[in-house]
Structure 1
Amino acid sequence: MESSQNPENGDSAKSHFSNFLSVPKLTEKDMYHVFVSFSTEDSTWVHQLILKLEVTFPSIKICSHDRDFTAGKTIIENLTECIQKSQKILMVLSPDFVHSRWCLFEANLSVFQDCKSDKAVVPIMLKPCPMPLYLSHLTYLEVKDEHFFEKLCNRLLKNYAKETEDILVHFQSSLLYGGKHMLSLAAVNENDEEPGNGAFSDTCVPDPLKAVVKDPEIYKKAIRLINNTPTYVHVLNSNWTKGFVIIFLCSVFMSSIYTFTLACSLLVSWYYFMYLPICLFAFGLAIYKLEYWKKKRLKIITRNMSRRTGEANLFLVELSILAGCASNSSLDFVFVSLKECKTMFQITFEHDPELEKCMWEKAMIQYSSDYANCMARKYFPHSDPLAPGHLANGICFCQYVAMQIKQGYWP
């Protein structure tokens, strides 16, 4: 373990901090000052840090899962109880933490959502790793900072109305998570034999989206909009046409059998042999047309749903979410903020606010669904952006629109 990451540095820290900081009193509903969430792979370092805190501040009460969880209770029950009874939550971030099943509160979002409104969360970056999405709006302490322990003590034991710049190292906002694929939502009618508009559940917000969906009604409104995609009706798909095609196929099939029988029995002239391949060709062509109409209908349904998904994205973008309709039976959701991209539209059309609004809505309806699909799959057909974008790890929406215009796809 690197010395810069070693929380133990002697008794000088104890005398220094104990003179200027005091441990706050526990309220009636609290049992601990701090609940520490960490991966067992990092337990050695974490226990050294806990020991140093307890030696420096003998009255501090710290809870960790490996020593304070109650035997016989489930992990979720212990987790809920310990968080609720702690004043603050300390998260020790590392690759093992991010990939841990239980350290990530994304696995227990209902617990975290209930607690985060009145619980201070203090992230510590022990080893470089992506910030969990639900923590991306917070700042973290860097272990390699030479003043790490001092900043940690200040953050744990003092209640600031507003954190100053020299207390915490600021995280790079949610842009690091731009394009994060959050969910593939299957339609409730995905197993229907007849291709049609997909229908998606709008009764509640799926768990993977709860970390960012602050207003469930916006999500439900967007899903209802997609569910109400107009059904594509074409004369080739009407019941009358289908009945006619079935009768035609039966007629061709029976004619082919009759002709073949007559030809084989030599009861008719030789030219009847010419009628057989014609009937077989017509039969094959009819089958091909049926398949073609089916694929054509599915393609149009998906296109209509994609456009309607773009309309739904006008609401979802308020939640920093975009939906992409890649097929009639599934939606892909990605986490991405379009604030900077919308600002670019405002700058471009600053002399005509109505035109700016119109162009933004037109771009969202036309391209946001396909853009979300590309972000979810980390693949862009034309990866040649014209100008710098607003995402650190991908192509932003206004770049994507510019690429489409360059290809001549602007409607």
Structure 2
Amino acid sequence: MDATAISESSTIQLAPDLHKDDRYHVFISYSSGDSIWVYGLIRKLEDTLPNLKICYHERDFVPGKTIIDNMVECIQSSQKTLVVLSPDFVRSRWCLFEANISVFRDCMVHKAIIPIMLKPCTVPLHLSHLTYLEAEDKQFFEKLTQVLMSENNQMSHSMLVHYQPSVLYDGKTILTLPAVNEGSEKWEPAIYSTASVPDQLRPLLDDSELYKNAIGIINDVRPSRSFLRFVTFKVFVCIALVLLMVLNFIVSLVSVATLRVLDGMMGHKVAAFVPNFMVSIFLMPTLLFKVLSWNRKMTKAIKKEMVLKTGHANVLLMESSLLVGCPSKNQLFFVYVSLRECRQAFDVAFGHRSELVTTMWEKALINYSSDYACCLARKHFPFNGAHPPGHLDQGMCFCQYVAELQRRTDTI
């Protein structure tokens, strides 16, 4: 939208009075890449609403203060916050909000936020529940002035359009969560914090008890009690196996040589030492390899158990349109995806028999949902070829994923 094209026909109006704690009517947050359009909008607003006090960073930020401090103060001292959405804004300016969302939450709870869709982009998750104004709307400026003239408690009656987060965010990675013991030994299970719901998940999951229970399930992986987890013990076993292998081999060679000298070529007596050779050549090296590869084996075993635990956690989280995936021992992916239609597909497939449907649905979640969430997060599915449209606009939906895995298992 060209800012100069904003309707000139609007009559001059007076902005509402400022409350005692407000210095500005509106704070405008935008990317520098959209500054030309924003400057045109500001000029038009000030011409139309002469007493409208507008705050924006080029003019009103206090030198010497951090950007975060300036933004917090501007939001706190303004009745409303106008967010000009564009790909540049999402890449640059919004990251300041996202990285400090806990700082801004209290400001936003008590202030009206007005998103303006200037250029098509993915709406940040923390704004996806809000209504927005379309800059290309022919009545954009009239709608904007109407909102600015309204008291914050009247915003629910404004002429705005509501964004559907399920459409925008299906399949989107919301959070990558590292383990709190990320530098732990390979045989130790990962531990994830249950202290509070991460800020990125709060718009979808504000039930701290549900989050705590889900992460508690994932944390419930028992560490190995094998003595091989101690490096000293492992070194001792390896040295002992090597010495036994060498000793057994030497004893076998000496015994065979002694028999050949005393009795000549006595094949049946020589053959009696073949088991000793086999132990030295095959059994001992195999045991040595198993000891040396114990860490790798335990890492795989822990990862496998964590994947199953993650599936159990998804039985709880899927009601909030969240799935968690376990791509490695020390990392979790949280993905926004609605499984409502996939759940209905299970109802149809199993004839609406409640007990059977519930059992099969939970079994599918436990066995497949973690890997499915990882596929969504990585934007890659291990299946070649095109697939018919499913319940997910971009990518394979969960019931398609389960069906494809079952088909491949049956084929094998």
Q: TM-score, normalised by structure 1?
A: 0.83
Q: 1:405 to 1:282 in 2, by over 3 A?
A: closer
Q: Distance in 1 between matches of 2:89 and 2:366?
A: 39
The percent identity for this pair of structures is 47
What residue number does 1:364 align with?
365
Amino acid in structure 1 at the alignment position of 2:10: A
Q: Distance in 2 between matches of 1:90 and 1:69?
A: 16
Q: Tell me the secondary structure at the aligned position of residue 187 of structure 2.
A: coil
Q: How far is the alpha carbon of 1:244 from its aligned partner?
A: 7.5
Q: Which of 239, 247, 252 is the aligned partner of 1:254?
A: 247
Given that 1:187 and 1:200 are in contact with CA atoms closer than 8 Å, whether structure 2 keeps it comes out as yes
What residue number does 1:204 align with?
196
Q: Distance in 1 between matches of 2:175 and 2:260?
A: 67
Q: Tell me the secondary structure at the aligned position of residue 373 of structure 2.
A: helix
Q: 1:345 to 1:203 in 2, by over 3 A?
A: same
Q: Distance in 1 between matches of 2:6 and 2:167?
A: 36
Q: Distance in 2 between matches of 1:250 and 1:397?
A: 54
Given that 1:325 and 1:331 are in contact with CA atoms closer than 8 Å, whether structure 2 keeps it comes out as yes
Q: Tell me the secondary structure at the aligned position of residue 149 of structure 1.
A: helix
**1:88 corresponds to 2:80:** yes
Q: 1:209 to 1:8 in 2, by over 3 A?
A: same
Q: Tell me the secondary structure at the aligned position of residue 388 of structure 1.
A: coil
Q: Distance in 2 between matches of 1:315 and 1:285?
A: 44
Q: How far is the alpha carbon of 1:310 from its aligned partner?
A: 0.8
Q: Distance in 1 between matches of 2:144 and 2:211?
A: 38
What residue number does 1:171 align with?
163
Amino acid in structure 1 at the alignment position of 2:323: L
Q: Distance in 2 between matches of 1:233 and 1:82?
A: 56
Q: Tell me the secondary structure at the aligned position of residue 175 of structure 1.
A: helix
Q: 1:58 to 1:329 in 2, by over 3 A?
A: same
Q: 1:194 to 1:127 in 2, by over 3 A?
A: closer
Bigger mean CA offset, 150-159 vs 288-297 = 288-297
> What does the per-residue CA deviation read over 1:352-374, in whole Å, with 9 as the maximum and x for residues that have no partner?
33333222222211111111111
Q: Which of 50, 64, 78 is the aligned partner of 1:72?
A: 64
Bigger mean CA offset, 104-113 vs 308-317 = 104-113
Q: Tell me the secondary structure at the aligned position of residue 28 of structure 2.
A: strand
Q: 1:62 to 1:383 in 2, by over 3 A?
A: farther
Q: Distance in 2 between matches of 1:398 and 1:355?
A: 16
What residue number does 1:23 align with?
15
Q: Distance in 1 between matches of 2:39 and 2:105?
A: 27
Q: 1:35 to 1:174 in 2, by over 3 A?
A: farther
> What does the per-residue CA deviation read over 1:55-102, in whole Å, with 9 as the maximum and x for residues that have no partner?
100111111112112222222111111112222111111111011055
**1:406 corresponds to 2:411:** no
Amino acid in structure 1 at the alignment position of 2:37: W
Amino acid in structure 1 at the alignment position of 2:304: R
Q: Which of 42, 59, 67 is the aligned partner of 2:51?
A: 59
Amino acid in structure 1 at the alignment position of 2:246: F
**1:5 corresponds to 2:2:** yes
Q: How far is the alpha carbon of 1:113 from its aligned partner?
A: 2.1
Q: Tell me the secondary structure at the aligned position of residue 334 of structure 1.
A: strand
Q: Distance in 1 between matches of 2:190 and 2:95?
A: 35
Q: Tell me the secondary structure at the aligned position of residue 380 of structure 2.
A: coil
Alignment gaps of 5+ in structure 2: 262-269
> What does the per-residue CA deviation read over 1:223-274, in whole Å, with 9 as the maximum and x for residues that have no partner?
1111112456799999xx98878744431133346778x69xx888587998
Given that 1:230 and 1:304 are in contact with CA atoms closer than 8 Å, whether structure 2 keeps it comes out as no
Q: TM-score, normalised by structure 2?
A: 0.83
Q: Tell me the secondary structure at the aligned position of residue 140 of structure 1.
A: strand
Q: Tell me the secondary structure at the aligned position of residue 98 of structure 2.
A: helix
Given that 2:147 and 2:155 are in contact with CA atoms closer than 8 Å, whether structure 1 keeps it comes out as no
What residue number does 1:156 align with?
148
Amino acid in structure 2 at the alignment position of 1:77: D
Q: Distance in 2 between matches of 1:407 and 1:78?
A: 57
Given that 1:320 and 1:336 are in contact with CA atoms closer than 8 Å, whether structure 2 keeps it comes out as yes
Q: Tell me the secondary structure at the aligned position of residue 182 of structure 1.
A: strand
Alignment gaps of 5+ in structure 1: none
Q: Distance in 2 between matches of 1:118 and 1:348?
A: 47
Give the 5 Å matches for 1:237-316.
247-256=240-249, 279-291=280-292, 294-316=295-317
Q: How far is the alpha carbon of 1:126 from its aligned partner?
A: 1.5
**1:396 corresponds to 2:393:** no
What residue number does 1:135 align with?
127
What residue number does 1:340 align with?
341
Q: How far is the alpha carbon of 1:378 from its aligned partner?
A: 0.8
Number of aligned residue pairs: give it: 396
What residue number does 1:180 align with?
172
> What does the per-residue CA deviation read over 1:364-404, in whole Å, with 9 as the maximum and x for residues that have no partner?
11111111111111111125686532222222222222222
Bigger mean CA offset, 216-225 vs 191-200 = 191-200
What residue number does 2:24 align with?
32
**1:122 corresponds to 2:114:** yes
Q: 1:245 to 1:95 in 2, by over 3 A?
A: same
Given that 1:38 and 1:103 are in contact with CA atoms closer than 8 Å, whether structure 2 keeps it comes out as no
Q: How far is the alpha carbon of 1:125 from its aligned partner?
A: 1.6
Q: Which of 29, 34, 38 is the aligned partner of 1:42?
A: 34
Amino acid in structure 2 at the alignment position of 1:361: E
Q: 1:356 to 1:136 in 2, by over 3 A?
A: same
Q: Distance in 2 between matches of 1:121 and 1:233?
A: 54
Given that 1:386 and 1:403 are in contact with CA atoms closer than 8 Å, whether structure 2 keeps it comes out as no
Given that 1:384 and 1:403 are in contact with CA atoms closer than 8 Å, whether structure 2 keeps it comes out as no
Q: How far is the alpha carbon of 1:132 from its aligned partner?
A: 1.4
Q: Distance in 2 between matches of 1:381 and 1:177?
A: 22
Q: How far is the alpha carbon of 1:27 from its aligned partner?
A: 1.4
